């Protein structure tokens, strides 16, 4: 290597170090500041502001808090198990059998990620409220039963578990289906050659190989439901019980008990960290299963006469998770009250007129939601891209810490982050409360891990040779990243962008503590309207939100600059 090249490289400014420092600082502030304030406040007395352990004592002695935790944990595990039991056979049927329409089913379930769980919960209020629920009304009129007969009641613990599982099972489904795609078919072939029947192969070869993905998916479902705010608030409160997230939220009522709220949030954080470690341990130990690369196309099992049973199962699940809820939302948006039968007289556009022309919050909320969604998606994707680059290429000593910082927020439940951000920025020093900035910070923090995971796993697939070529030709690191690496990754970039965007517009648990009149979001006005029982208006807003989200995702996938690529399964 000649001296001139070295000279040349010194002359052009390498921005790696300053970018590393700025990113490190930014991520630290995002993650550490809210956690610091939560811990600080948890030791602060609500009465006078002095140091106290009373908040932690209350965690053990206050029966309402203990009960809220017990119910939340029970609910989360039930959701995890139920999601896994439903998702695994579904995944196997669409990934490894000749079930008719399996591609379509898979696409449908992936698309159902866009449904905000709180909207699903409201749809189930309309469907399965004990007296007015459409399912109960239909059941009664079908069998001529009197009004005291109740087939299903969503306002119960089991109802809550069901309503959440309907909208968390796609996590397990996606992970298991992807794992099934990657199970090396030679292992299954070997089993078949050695005389193992279809069931034996499934039981002894395929199933053990995807077990880690099932467990990991189940843990994600548990985590999602444990930290969820919207669905429990909509279903558990009418049923007369709290889960921990709604309990923490209630501590913000006047007079606010911030110390207790902070202390109540800490076990949630600890449980989340433990679950994530468990997930990592499971995936780490059996990592050989799905990471071994593909060997041939996956074997497709022929269902034969089982086809009809399988079809019935898949359609039942899809009805419960997609067709019925969406049908209920559509019906309610166009009829006077949710309980009305559909006739020409009950069809009305009054809810549309109200939402579009009379309700003054609509426009502002839609604008804020999409502004924040697009901003968050863009910033997070950019940060994730650069961070993943620095980490996977290890161009700077200590870059690994950036990866840790970027992943850390995954351990912070939304409501805990909401508490932390409120304590950090809602004071006369920062005065960010009441601006869109605090929401942007919240969304960036929440979505960063997802974006980062996407980007870092795709970086692993791009060989550094091409980048090295660019560097040898004299381009700076950033220029190489921009000109060579980014275009190679554009499918992943678009997928990450869409994933973050969808995640942002369905967020409620941190948002609920951080919005004010001028920073309303669609999710929050839906929640507000739910508290006053305006189901028609909610359904109209829900439809607007879903249509607009699909439109944005569609456009993002079609913009020529971004490569017009397909959105991948995880995105």
Partner 1 sequence: MWNKVFVTAALVAGMATATIARAEAPAPYNVTPELEEAAKAEGKVVFYTATDVAVAEKLAELFEKTYPGIDVQVERAGSERVFQRIGQEISSGINNADVIETSDAVHFEYFKRQGWLQAAVPQEVADKWPADERDPDGYFAAYRAHLSVLAYRTDLLSEADAPKTWTDLLDPKYKGKMVKAHPGYSGTVMTATYVLSELLGWDYFEKLGQQDVMQVQSSTEPPKKLAQGERPLEVDGNEYNIFRLQEEGVPIRIVYPEEGTPLAVGNAGILSKAPNPNAAKLFYSFLFSLDAQQLNSDFGGLRSFHPEVVEKAERTPMSKIKLLHSDPVKLEPLIQEIKTHYEQYFGT
Binding site for partner 1 (CB under 8 A): 46-49, 64, 129-132, 147, 155, 236-242, 246, 250, 252-259, 337-339, 354, 358-361, 364, 422-423, 426-428, 431, 433-434, 516-518, 528-529, 531-535
The residue (of 196 and 339) whose beta carbon lies closer to partner 1 is 339
The residue (of 68 and 219) whose beta carbon lies closer to partner 1 is 68
DSSP H stretches of helix in 184-337: 185-193, 198-201, 207-226, 230-239, 244-250, 258-285, 288-291, 307-318, 324-334
Sign of CA dihedral 63, 68, 69, 70: positive
The residue (of 327 and 339) whose beta carbon lies closer to partner 1 is 339
CA–CA dist 317, 311 (Å, integer): 10
The residue (of 246 and 381) whose beta carbon lies closer to partner 1 is 246
Beta bridge partners, 97, equal 301
CA–CA dist 155, 194 (Å, integer): 52
The residue (of 236 and 540) whose beta carbon lies closer to partner 1 is 236
Q: CB 361 → partner 1: shortest distance, Å?
A: 7
What are the phi and psi torsion angles at 510 (to 5°)? -85, -35
DSSP-assigned states of every residue in 367-413: HHHHHHHHHHHHHHHHHHHHHHHHHHHT-STTHHHHHHHHHGGGGS-
Question: 339 and 132 in contact (C-beta within 8 Å)?
Answer: yes
Q: CB 406 → partner 1: shortest distance, Å?
A: 29
Q: CB 428 → partner 1: shortest distance, Å?
A: 5
The residue (of 258 and 310) whose beta carbon lies closer to partner 1 is 258
The residue (of 93 and 423) whose beta carbon lies closer to partner 1 is 423
CA–CA dist 520, 439 (Å, integer): 10
CA–CA dist 287, 6 (Å, integer): 42
CA–CA dist 135, 396 (Å, integer): 60
The DSSP code for 294 is -
Q: CB 22 → partner 1: shortest distance, Å?
A: 28
Residue 569: alpha-carbon gap to chain centroid: 14
The residue (of 254 and 344) whose beta carbon lies closer to partner 1 is 254
What are the distances in angstroms from CA 25 to CA 1, 33, 395, 442, 486? 36, 11, 18, 16, 24
CA–CA dist 428, 424 (Å, integer): 10
Q: CB 157 → partner 1: shortest distance, Å?
A: 12
Q: CB 358 → partner 1: shortest distance, Å?
A: 5
* Residue among 514, 534, 533, 512 nearest 524 (CA): 512
CA–CA dist 22, 524 (Å, integer): 33
The residue (of 355 and 406) whose beta carbon lies closer to partner 1 is 355
The residue (of 236 and 489) whose beta carbon lies closer to partner 1 is 236
State the angle between helix axes of 117-128 and 157-182 in degrees (0 to 180), rounded to the nearest 10. Answer: 130
The residue (of 12 and 131) whose beta carbon lies closer to partner 1 is 131
Q: CB 109 → partner 1: shortest distance, Å?
A: 31
Torsion of CA 192, 195, 198, 199, to 10 degrees: -130
Beta bridge partners, 51, equal 44
CA–CA dist 395, 410 (Å, integer): 25
Q: CB 224 → partner 1: shortest distance, Å?
A: 22
Q: CB 41 → partner 1: shortest distance, Å?
A: 9
DSSP-assigned states of every residue in 248-280: HHHTTSSSP-HHHHHHHHHHHHHHHHHHHHHHH
Q: CB 373 → partner 1: shortest distance, Å?
A: 22
The residue (of 170 and 232) whose beta carbon lies closer to partner 1 is 232
CA angle in degrees (0–180, nearest 5) for 414-115-519: 50
The residue (of 181 and 528) whose beta carbon lies closer to partner 1 is 528
What are the phi and psi torsion angles at 347 (to 5°)? -65, 135
Helix then strand count (H, E) for the chain reads: 29, 0
Q: CB 252 → partner 1: shortest distance, Å?
A: 6
Q: CB 364 → partner 1: shortest distance, Å?
A: 8
The residue (of 259 and 503) whose beta carbon lies closer to partner 1 is 259
Q: CB 336 → partner 1: shortest distance, Å?
A: 8
* Residue among 126, 169, 174, 134 nearest 151 (CA): 134
Q: Which of 130-166 are b and which e, b meaning 16 or more Cβ less than 10 Å from the residue's Cβ? A: beebbbbbeebeeeeeeeeeeebebbbbebbbbbbbb
Query: Residue 49, Cβ neighbours under 10 Å: how many?
Result: 9
Beta bridge partners, 225, equal none
Q: CB 210 → partner 1: shortest distance, Å?
A: 40
């Amino acid at each position: 290597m000649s001296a001139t090249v070295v000279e040349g490289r010194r002359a052009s400014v390498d921005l790696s170090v300053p970018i590393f420092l700025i990113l490190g600082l930014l991520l630290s502030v995002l993650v550490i500041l809210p956690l610091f304030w939560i811990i600080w406040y948890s030791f602060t007395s609500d009465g006078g502001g002095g140091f106290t352990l009373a908040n932690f004592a209350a965690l053990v002695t206050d029966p309402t808090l203990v009960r809220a935790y017990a119910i939340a944990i029970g609910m989360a595990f039930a959701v995890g198990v139920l999601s896994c039991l439903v998702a695994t056979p579904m995944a196997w049927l669409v990934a490894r059998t000749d079930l008719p329409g399996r591609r379509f089913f898979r696409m449908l379930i992936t698309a159902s990620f866009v449904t905000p769980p709180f909207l699903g919960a409201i749809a189930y209020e309309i469907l399965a409220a004990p007296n007015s629920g459409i399912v109960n009304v239909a059941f009664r009129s079908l069998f001529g039963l009197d009004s005291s007969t109740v087939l299903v009641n969503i306002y119960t613990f089991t109802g809550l578990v069901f309503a959440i599982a309907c909208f968390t099972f796609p996590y397990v489904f996606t992970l298991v289906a992807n794992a099934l795609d990657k199970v090396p078919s030679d292992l299954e072939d070997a089993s078949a050659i050695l005389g193992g029947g279809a069931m034996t192969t499934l039981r002894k070869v395929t199933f053990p190989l995807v077990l880690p993905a099932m467990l990991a998916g189940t843990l994600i479902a548990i985590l999602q439901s444990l930290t969820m705010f919207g669905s429990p608030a909509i279903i558990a409160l009418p049923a007369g019980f709290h889960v921990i997230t709604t309990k923490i939220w209630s501590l913000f009522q006047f007079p606010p008990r911030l110390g207790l709220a902070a202390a109540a949030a800490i076990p949630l954080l600890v449980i989340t960290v433990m679950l994530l470690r468990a997930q990592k341990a499971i995936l780490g130990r059996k990592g050989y299963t799905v990471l071994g690369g593909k060997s041939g196309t996956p074997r497709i099992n022929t269902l034969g006469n089982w086809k009809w049973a399988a079809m019935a199962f898949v359609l039942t699940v899809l009805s419960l998770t997609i067709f019925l809820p969406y049908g209920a939302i559509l019906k309610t948006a166009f009829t006077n009250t949710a309980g009305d039968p559909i006739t020409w007289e009950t069809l009305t556009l009054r809810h549309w007129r109200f939402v579009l022309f009379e309700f003054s919050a609509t426009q502002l909320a839609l604008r804020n939601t999409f502004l924040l969604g697009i901003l968050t998606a863009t910033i997070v994707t950019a940060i994730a891209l650069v961070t993943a680059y620095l980490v996977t290429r290890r161009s700077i000593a200590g870059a690994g810490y950036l990866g840790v910082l970027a992943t850390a927020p995954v351990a912070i439940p939304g409501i805990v982050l909401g508490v932390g951000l409120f304590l950090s920025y809602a004071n006369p020093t920062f005065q960010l409360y009441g601006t869109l900035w605090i929401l942007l910070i919240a969304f960036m923090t929440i979505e960063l891990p997802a974006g980062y995971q996407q980007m870092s796993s795709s970086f692993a697939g791009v060989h550094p040779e091409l980048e090295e070529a660019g560097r040898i030709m004299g381009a700076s690191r950033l220029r190489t990243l921009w000109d060579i690496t980014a275009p190679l990754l554009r499918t992943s970039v678009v997928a990450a962008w869409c994933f973050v965007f969808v995640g942002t517009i369905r967020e409620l648990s941190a948002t609920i503590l951080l919005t004010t009149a001028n920073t309303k979001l669609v999710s929050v006005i839906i929640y507000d309207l739910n508290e006053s029982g305006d189901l028609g208006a909610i359904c109209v807003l829900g439809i607007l939100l879903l249509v607009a989200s699909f439109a944005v995702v569609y456009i993002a996938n079609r913009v020529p600059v971004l490569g017009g690529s397909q959105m991948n399964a995880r995105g």
